[in-house]
A and B are shown apart, each in its own frame.
Chain A
Amino acid sequence: MPIIKTSEDRALRLGTGAFAVFVVLLVAGIGVVLTQQSVLSIRKFGLAFWTRSTWNPVSGEFGALPFIWGTLYSSLIALLIAAPIALGIAIFINEISPLKLRQPLSYLTELLAAIPSIVYGLWGIFVLVPIVRKLELLAPEWLKKVPLFTGPPLGVGMLSAGVILAVMVVPLTSSVAREILRGVPMTQREAALALGATRWEAIRIALGYGRTGIIGAVMLGLGRALGETMAVTMVIGNNPQVSTSLFAPQYTMAAVIANEFTEAADELYLHALIEIGLVLFLITIVVNALSRILTRRVVRA
């Protein structure tokens, strides 16, 4: 009997393929539809949309600089806090903790990822923000002259947003970093130890071996932070301004969409908001694609 593909096998390939195509089409579709729905704003403002900071729906002037600034700034703070902690967790669970603790510890840290963002937001408003305000009140006068800490101690603002984002990003980054560390051959650590390396020096060798993947893990966290909406909008103060101060209430791209979308009365306003969504989409795609490439290469090797 000749070995041929039966028609049923063809059907399997095409039938399931039709659904798989849908996944690709979704990604492409989001890009196309968001572009279509933001043409008015793109045509009218061009690149100036991203360099101007006036956001005035009444007069029809839209500049998105404060939002992109707030998004990048809050994500940066989140990463600065979350990356070392997430790495520390990954190292502790993978390289240090006794075998028996590994499962429960990783489960506990991953629980953080299961909590909905609205619950983070609720906790943020009623628990975190008051704590942050108290800390801000404690700031001595000389510190408040530093551009990072100017302005009244409101509690809501960039600092609270950064902290809450950090908490939300930690589980993802640490679980990917653990995956990467698990992929580093044991013999790498042994080689270091056999040369008289301390425990930390051997861990560093493992980190070095997986460094591309570790960077990917941090970038994955960045991607998550950039698009996070509810928790941020509930604690950041939602004030479109470009400020370096951690105490200042600011705004993010995702937050302005969440808050103003249903209020957008005229089409230009709506298109301006969707353009923000489009750019957020593009940024997160680039960040996520990069991090996937980085993490995948290491896991494969």
Chain B
Amino acid sequence: MRKFKSNLIVALCGASVLLALVPLAMILFYVISRGFSALNWAFFTQTPKPVGEAGGGMGNAIVGTLILIVIAGVIAIPVGVLSGVHLAEFKGTRFSSMVRFAADVLNGVPSIVIGIFAYAIIVLPLKRFSAIAGGFALAIIVIPVVARTTEELLRLVPGGLKEAALALGATRAKAMFSVILPAALPGILTGILVALARVAGETAPLLFTAFNNRFFSTNVTQPIGSLTVQVFTYALSPYDDWIRQAWAGALVLVTMILILSIIARVATRRLERMARG
């Protein structure tokens, strides 16, 4: 009886793994099959057609997403990495546990709320939606991830390395920036890459910051289109062609994120092996 119960629960645990893989398989299947058939050259090069007209593409939105990511990276990388350095180097202090806690809390703040914050800080004073506001919102999402990743990777650097540098008369700052940080850099870069890839999939914080734009735009003080917002708009539209393009957009998004995560996965695995020696 006890044996039976044990085996039953073990089987149920196995079943829950399968159960979780069902939606994964379904999503990938639909995104690939529906998205692929709607992909064409125009999708990458053209801008959306006026309401109801078939054809056109998401070229502007793809560029827009890239611009937003660059803005987010420019803001988030220095703040995230240097906060991470602080957390790793001064780990015992009360201040750093406060920062760590704040980073963890920030990580859990819904992205829509972060969108409101960016709206209040940037859109309201400038009196218009802008790529800057969208990028800023995304940056806030990226910062805690980068900070914590940096901290963790710096801690993985063998302590001997730091001691060797200090023993040679390097200051703490020198040791950090010339020895420890470079040693952890490949890992930190992959971490940043993954964080930026993930944030490229964000929609909610862009809705009322970057807003949307049917045309190609590289002006960061103007509203800008993005893949995610464009997919959202098209998904809820009544036009078949737009819905097909929404799937294509989803495919592009998923492909981009998966490729980056896989690269990061392989890279971290290799790094771990190197760290172990």
- Chain A positions within 8 Å of B, measured between CB atoms, are 6, 8-9, 11-13, 15-17, 19-24, 26-27, 29-30, 33-34, 36-37, 84-89, 91-93, 96-97, 105, 107-109, 111-112, 114-123, 125-127, 167, 170-171, 174, 198-201, 203, 220, 223-224, 226-230, 234, 254, 257-258, 261-262, 274, 277, 280-281, 284-285, 287-289, 292
B207 and A261 contact, CB distance less than 8 A = yes
Complex CA distance for A174 and B259, rounded to whole angstroms: 23
Taking the closest CB of chain A, its distance from the CB of B236, in whole angstroms, is 7
Say if the beta carbon of B74 comes within 8 Å of chain A. Answer: no
Which of B79, B101, B200, B201 interacts with A22 by CB under 8 Å?
Answer: B79
Which A residue sits closest to B194, measured CB to CB?
A: A114
Bound form: Cα–Cα A220–B107 in Å = 11
Closest beta carbon of chain B to A116's beta carbon, Å: 3
From B27, B82, B113, contact of A16 by CB (8 A):
B82
- Bound together, the chains give a CA A202 to CA B208 distance in angstroms of 51
B6's contact among A13, A121, A198, by CB below 8 Å, is which? Answer: A198
Which of these, A109, A115, A167, A201, contacts B17 with CB under 8 Å? A109
A-B contact pairs, 11 of them (CB 8 A): A20-B82, A23-B103, A30-B117, A36-B120, A88-B17, A92-B14, A96-B13, A115-B201, A116-B200, A116-B203, A122-B231
Q: How far is the CB of A162 from chain B (nearest CB, A)?
A: 13
B183 on interface, CB distance cutoff 8 Å: no
Instruction: Report whether A26 and B246 are in contact in the complex, using a CB–CB cutoff of 8 Å.
Output: no
Q: Which residues of A contact B239 (CB under 8 A)?
A: none
Known: A20-B96, A115-B201. 10 other contacts (CB 8 A): A34-B120, A92-B10, A116-B253, A118-B203, A198-B5, A198-B6, A200-B9, A234-B232, A284-B108, A285-B105
**With a CB–CB cut-off of 8 A, which chain B residues contact A109?**
17, 20-21, 24
Is the C-beta of B39 less than 8 angstroms from some C-beta in chain A?
no
Docked-complex contact B17 and A92, CB < 8 angstroms: yes
Q: A34-B117, A114-B198 are contacts. A258–B5 as well, Cβ < 8 Å?
A: no
Chain B residues contacting A8 (CB-CB under 8 Å) are 171-174
Q: Given A22-B83, A33-B117, A89-B13, are A258 and B204 neighbors across the interface (CB < 8 Å)?
A: yes
Q: How far is the CB of A94 from the nearest CB of chain B, in Å?
A: 10
CB nearest neighbor in B for A123: B27
Q: How far is the CB of B152 from chain A (nearest CB, A)?
A: 13
- Decide: B17 and A93 in contact? CB cutoff 8 A: yes
User: Is the pair B102, A27 in contact by a Cβ cutoff of 8 Å?
Assistant: yes
Q: Is the CB of B173 within 8 A of A11?
A: yes
Name the distance in Å between B182's Cβ and chain A's nearest Cβ.
16
A118 pairs with B250, CB closer than 8 A: yes
Contact A23 B106 (CB under 8 A): yes
Across the interface, do B208 and A261 meet the contact criterion of CB distance under 8 Å?
yes
Neighbouring B residues of A87 by C-beta, 8 Å? 16
Q: For residues 17 through 33 of chain B, which have their beta carbon under 8 Å from a beta carbon of chain A? A: 17, 19-21, 23-24, 26-27, 30-31
Q: Are B235 and A23 in contact (CB under 8 A)?
A: no
Is there an interface contact between A23 and B102, defined as CB atoms closer than 8 Å?
Answer: yes
Which residues on B sit within 8 Å (CB–CB) of A97?
A: 14, 17
B59 within 8 A of A: no
Report yes or no: B2 in contact with A201, Cβ–Cβ below 8 A: yes
Tell me if B138 is interfacial: C-beta within 8 Å of chain A.
no
Residues of A within 8 A of B89 (CB): 12-13, 16
Give Cα A126–Cα B242 distance, bound, in whole angstroms.
13
Assess A127 versus B101: contact at CB under 8 Å? Given A117-B203, A254-B112. Answer: no
Query: Contact between B232 and A230 (Cβ–Cβ < 8 Å)?
Result: yes
Chain A residues positioned under 8 Å from B115 (CB to CB) = 257
B130 interface residue (CB < 8 Å to A): no
Query: Cβ of A15: which chain B residues have Cβ within 8 Å of it?
Result: 82
Please name the residue on chain A nearest to B106 by beta carbon: A27
A127 and B83 alpha carbons, distance in the complex (Å): 43
Contact of A19 among B83, B108, B144 (CB under 8 A): B83
A90's nearest neighbour on chain B, judged by CB, is B13
Q: Mark B36-76, 1 if CB is under 8 A from A, else 0.
A: 00000000000000000000000000000000000000000
**Is the CB–CB distance between A230 and B98 below 8 Å?**
no
**Complex: A174 Cα to B19 Cα, angstroms:** 13
Chain B residues 229 to 247 lying within 8 A of chain A, measured CB to CB, are 231-232, 235-236, 243, 246-247
Cβ contact of A234, chosen from B82, B140, B236, cutoff 8 A = B236
Contact with A along B240-271 (1 / 0, CB 8 A): 00010011001001100110010001000000
Hey, which chain A residues are within 8 Å of B104, CB to CB? 288, 292
**B185 located at the interface, meaning its Cβ lies under 8 Å from any Cβ of chain A in the complex:** no
Asked if A118 contacts B201 (CB within 8 A), the reply is yes
Q: A118-B201, A118-B250, A258-B204 are in contact. Are A13 and B90 (CB under 8 A)?
A: yes
Q: Is B214 on the interface with A (CB-CB < 8 A)? A: no
Q: Which residues of B contact A107 (CB under 8 A)?
A: 265
A116 touching B201 in the complex, CB below 8 Å, given contacts A15-B82, A96-B14, A227-B110: yes
In the complex, which residues of chain A have a beta carbon less than 8 angstroms from the beta carbon of B196? none
0/1 per residue, B84-121, Cβ < 8 Å to A? 01110110000110110111111111111111110111
CA–CA, A97 to B117, complex, Å? 44
**Complex contacts, B19 vs chain A, CB 8 Å:** 85
